[in-house]
Amino acid sequence: MNKIIIKGAREHNLKNIDLELPRDKLIVISGLSGSGKSSLAFDTIFAEGQRRYVESLSAYARQFLGRMDKPDVDYLEGLSPAISIEQKTTSKNPRSTVGTITEIYDYLRLLFARIGKPICPNDGTEIKEQSVDQILDAVLSLPEGQKLMIL
């Protein structure tokens, strides 16, 4: 599925709208105040994505989350689990990112540290762990006067 299909969305200010949105693209929803931007983004798309995700959890996990109502829409297809970030964030740090605000940054760091494979930018080979003796042998095998960078 390469698009999100919405048919008959009537949440808040939306008046039975139909639209298709491309997946894996940056989408901007703009319009006048009261035109239904937040109703579409948060109350329809996000709410249904979150509701479907919660439905996929075990009954035990769902009991702690409470019941989530289905948005007023006839048909919605192509959604993935969704997160939402408040427009008025409490972070005063100008260096905050989506990753740090949602706290997913630390998990992504762990994921890439555990399953990632470092690649040499010069020749594209995988960088493997080396012992102190292997590093010493490699350095001592360089010609005299050869420049070397130690990180």
How many whole angstroms separate alpha carbon 73 and alpha carbon 6?
A: 8
Q: What is the DSSP string of 55-75?
A: HHS-HHHHTTT---PPPS-SE
Domain boundaries, the chain: 1-87, 96-143
The arithmetic mean of pLDDT across residues 34-55, rounded, is 91
How many whole angstroms separate alpha carbon 123 and alpha carbon 7?
A: 50
Would you give the end-to-end CA distance of the chain in angstroms?
Answer: 45
How many whole angstroms separate alpha carbon 130 and alpha carbon 117?
A: 14
- What pLDDT band is residue 74 in, cutting at 50, 70 and 90? very high
**Average pLDDT taken over every residue of the chain:** 89
Q: What was the pLDDT predicted at 83? A: 79
Q: What was the pLDDT predicted at 39? A: 93
**pTM, two decimal places:** 0.61
Q: Which one, of 64, 70, 102, lies nearest residue 84 by Cα?
A: 102
- What pLDDT band is residue 3 in, cutting at 50, 70 and 90? very high
Residues 6+ apart with CB under 8 A from 42: 84
**Residue pair 31/37 in contact by the 8 Å Cβ criterion:** yes
- Per CATH, the number for 1-87 is 3.40.50.300
User: For residue 90, is pLDDT > 70?
Assistant: no
